[in-house]
Amino acid sequence: MKYSIKKVHLILILTTFLFCNSIAFSKDITDKYSQKSISSYLSGIISANQDYTADAFEHLNQVQSLKNIHHNFNIEFIHTLILLQKFKKAFNFSQDLWKEDDFFYEVDLLLGLESFINKDYTKAKKHFRRLNKTIKYNLPIEDFLGNALISWTHASENNKESSYNFTNKIPNRYENLKKIQKSFLNCHFNSPGTKDAFNKLIEDEEYSFSRYNFFLANYLLSINDKKEAKKVILEARSKDNSNLLIQQTEDFILSNNLKKIKKIFDCKNPKDVIAEIFYIVANLYSSQKDYKLSNFYLQISLFLNSKFAPNKTLLAENFFYLKKYDLSKKTYNSLKSIGPVYSWYSSKNMDLILSYDSNNNEENFYPSILEKEFKSLSNPNFIHYYELANFYKDYEHYEESIKYYSIALEKLKEDHFLVPKILDRRGTSYERMGDWKNAEKDLLKSLEMIPDQPHVLNYLAYSWIEKRKNIDKALKMLQKANQLRENDGYIIDSLGWAHYVSENYEDAEKFLQRAVELMPLDPVINDHFGDTLWMLNKNIQARYLWKYVLNLDETEQQLKEKVKKKLIFGITKNL
């Protein structure tokens, strides 16, 4: 039966492929629909859907004879060409496909861009106008992209009035995109209101537009207002420590490397602005988790302005989410040449990729390499020290992690939101080193600042239970943690273990059974449950669980030795 079903599915696939389009049979039909052609097409589509772009191209390139009869093939092939940065081939392929009475979004988009690059603005506008008739199938950018591209084509002709007219045609539901567009138009035409336009955008309290501090500073440098450009970036950094582009721009300013700021973007060059527009579109699709389509628009952006390397950050992130770890690492590595901020960021993420990549055969990426990157930062802040400490902690270099957590705390005001988190992490590092006095001090201080932290409540309370101290207080803390964070296996295990230590075995059984249900592969939780069952004279069930613990991959050797003794002697005071 299974074979028959698969056979029927294959027949349906081939039948759909052969007959879903209205085809006039010709003398070369045998060649077009040969077994090899069908195989190449299907292999190409499957590879494209699985984001194996190079493989998709290899297969689809063999069946270009389908371009006049199979619309889906054309879309996939164009997308594949752009994703592989084969723009000349994509332009030529689109030219072969174009028809006056056939509205094909990707074709008009690419031919419009090719005409724009060749300064054939009349032809470019013709193609971009056609986008407004086909873009309805691309809802996140409906009625935005076509009008924006026409606007910049008019700007290239120095037609200021028409540029603004087409920007005003962008629907009001894209209010923020219109603000961005008008800011760049003001910059392009060097209008007196340029600075105010960017500031209104940046000061929006509902959305984060901190990225546009860079473009404002870039504009100010273009009119030789270095002092104001520096002020813009330093003020932006004081408000936002997370935006990479602003961090790197600050580094350029402090190192008096202003040429790098001016080199990568010029609002007087419409091609640079259009590249930013495509970057915005790529971000929209990435936020919707359509990473493949995001990369399609992003590659167009990078083609139009290859100098703006910081935009490759989105490409690296998209590759990561697509689980294309080698491509992600390669892209992150290329970002290092931008400057120390991007080098630091890339090193962190390349290390993260190693932990996700199950096929990784490389040696571990150790924090000492990150520290080397860290030393290249011209103006490290508390975030950098905190991140470096986290990496040392993750690699169990607890002494070094404590050192950098402490420096981060020194650079922060006591009421900063990150202080309790750093105290928590430094406290757990102290505990791992066996310095319980300082560990307890940090954990208590963290809870004093924010009492309702279930993770910290659990860690401190469980540590007390293991030390057989403050049992009643620990139990209350765990009950609170359990209320704050329901169905957390670790917290429920700690609560059950607190009842065990208090010799409330029936309550312990109830919680530990639930913890095992939530985390069936955790050796410690299963061991705790086994101990409880033993104390309730359920010896057969207890031994079953202990044997199970021995067979779990995550069971540490020290626990295995204890469990082996329990299997022989049961639970005695000597154990």
Residue ranges covered by each domain of the chain: 1-97
138 pLDDT band, cuts 50/70/90, is low
* Percentage of the chain lying above the pLDDT 90 cut: 60
Q: What is the DSSP string of 81-95?
A: HHHTT-HHHHHHHHH
The model's pTM is 0.71
Q: How does pLDDT run across 431-482, given as a tens digit for each residue? A: 999 999 999 999 999 999 999 999 999 999 999 999 999 999 999 999 999 9
Residue 332 has pLDDT above 80, yes or no: yes
Phi, psi of 102 (to 5 degrees): -120, 110
Give the mean pLDDT of 266-281: 96
Catalogue the long-range contacts made by 528-531 (C-beta closer than 8 Å, 24 or more residues apart): 528/493, 528/496, 528/497, 528/500, 529/496, 530/566, 531/500, 531/566, 531/571
Catalogue the long-range contacts made by 564-568 (C-beta closer than 8 Å, 24 or more residues apart): 566/530, 566/531, 566/534, 567/543
Which pLDDT belongs to residue 47?
A: 66
Sign of the four-CA dihedral 456, 462, 465, 471: positive
Structure tokens at 145: 């992209």
Residue 8 has pLDDT above 70, yes or no: no
Q: How does pLDDT run across 349-382, given as a tens digit for each residue? A: 887 787 676 555 544 555 566 777 777 777 787 8
Give the mean pLDDT of 187-201: 93
Q: How does pLDDT run across 17-63, given as a tens digit for each residue? A: 444 443 433 444 444 456 666 676 676 677 667 767 776 677 666 66
Which pLDDT belongs to residue 417?
A: 84
Which pLDDT belongs to residue 22?
A: 38
More confident residue, 1 or 466: 466
Which pLDDT belongs to residue 30?
A: 44
Neighbours of 117 (CB within 10 A): 15
* Widest CA span in the chain: 91
Residue 193 has pLDDT above 80, yes or no: yes
